[in-house]
Amino acid sequence: MPNHQTEIHRAILQIENPYPADDLISNYKSFLRVRDFLHAYKFNPVVFSALVEVANKSWDSTGRVNRLSLIESVKRYGFSRVENADLMDASVKEKAFQLFRKTFEEPEKVTKRQLEEVQKICSSMISTLTFGEPEEQWLCSNINLSDLIATRVLRYPGRSPIISSWTREHYYEARFRSQRPILAGWLIDEDPAYVVDTRTLFDDFEYLNQLDMRAISDYEEEKNANRVMEDELGEYLMKVTLPSPDDEEVDPDFPIYETVSLEYPTLKLSRRFYSILEDSKRKFQSQQVPIFKKLREDFSENIAITQNVTMLWAVAFSHLAMEQKTELLKLYYREETYRSFFKICVRFKMVELLRWLSQIR
């Protein structure tokens, strides 16, 4: 269909917004016929199920298939429209998970340039879905493959004995120390009386300090090395670029000299859920560097507050019933934890708890 015809047809569909026939999509060829205006149709669960099925089958196809386009359409037509995706038919959810899984087990099906985008889209699609034991077990068994999989485990939206069991086994693993409240939430699911001990919080704190000090040291070393290279080889970091023949304002007889800058390193410090005392004399890439000695002193003095804040977020991230979660949150409320308490109420839309908060203040 010519571009203008496609544009016109899409406009008509957007205005009329018709309900599609159940057989609108049956294979990849029929998908291509409607791809450019599929989103103009009303949502039809039968069509959506067929679309997810086609995306799965096409992933394994040996023919020429635009898998990225298929997955983008799955998200746009279905997951971006449905208010509660977890209420979808179980078979559709399973197929969506299969797509996510295939992007890691069969990554060669898409180009390297597209792979990261495809994985992110699939991860986003299943972010609010709960699954059965096979899918949960796969997530836990493959958590080291990607940060996306780790996020799907830690932020899994429902209770899961499998993930709680995995959490107990990996609770003190170094790479998850910055996720302590989320990990604790999984233990609270099975034992609401669980409390993160202060020794664990101190260990987490010191681990993050070591990470940040190493990151700052590496950043400074690489930055200094680049500066030396530019000072010593500056004249060799120039390149000649001939002006474009289409640029009428540039004399084509004179080349343009462009400076080739060395790529500077990036500094990424740990994200923490407590305040950081920053060194006003040291600032890299708009990031303030912590005063680690003072930070340790303050952390030790305020460990009880940090423990309460940790528990507030742990309870918030847990999957307990709302009534039980509300009562537990009240236990960890202090004047010093007001800000975290308030943020939790707003983020998780806990209106009754906000009313309780207004009465005690």
> What is the structure's pLDDT at 1?
47
Count of CA atoms in the C-beta half-sphere (13 A) of 287: 14
d(CA 98, CA 138): 11
- Model confidence at 340, pLDDT cuts 50, 70, 90, reads very high
Q: Which of 39, 25, 44, 34 is nearest to 6 (CA)?
A: 34
> What is the structure's pLDDT at 257?
44
> How many percent of the chain have pLDDT more than 70?
84
Q: What are the start-end ranges of the H helices in 19-160?
A: 28-34, 45-59, 67-74, 90-105, 112-125, 133-141, 147-154
pLDDT digits (tens, 9 = 90+) for 16-27: 899 999 999 999
Q: Which of 173, 216, 170, 164 is nearest to 192 (CA)?
A: 164
The backbone region for 274, taken as left when phi is positive above 0, alpha when psi lies in -120 to 50, beta otherwise, is beta
Which segment of 10-19, 55-64, 174-183, 196-205 scores lowest on mean pLDDT? 10-19
Q: How many angstroms separate the Cα of 310 from the Cα of each of 11, 63, 112, 271, 299?
A: 52, 52, 39, 14, 13
> How many percent of the chain have pLDDT more than 90?
69
pLDDT digits (tens, 9 = 90+) for 94-125: 999 999 999 999 999 999 999 999 999 999 99
The answer to whether 97 and 126 have CB atoms below 8 angstroms apart is: yes
The answer to whether 316 and 344 have CB atoms below 8 angstroms apart is: yes
- Model confidence at 59, pLDDT cuts 50, 70, 90, reads very high
DSSP state, residue 179: G
Helix/strand/coil for 55: helix
d(CA 94, CA 90): 6
Against a cut of 0.85, is the pTM above it? no
Copy the structure tokens of residue 217.
Answer: 């040291």
Q: Which of 306, 309, 307, 301 is nearest to 342 (CA)?
A: 309
d(CA 152, CA 138): 11
Copy the structure tokens of residue 120.
Answer: 């992110």
| pLDDT higher than threshold 90 for residue 156 | yes
Q: How many angstroms separate the Cα of 180 from the Cα of each of 68, 176, 266, 280, 351?
A: 35, 7, 26, 29, 26
Copy the structure tokens of residue 178.
Answer: 């910055």
Copy the structure tokens of residue 175.
Answer: 């790479």
d(CA 262, CA 256): 19
The pLDDT mean for the chain works out to 88
In the block, tokens 């069509």 appear at 47
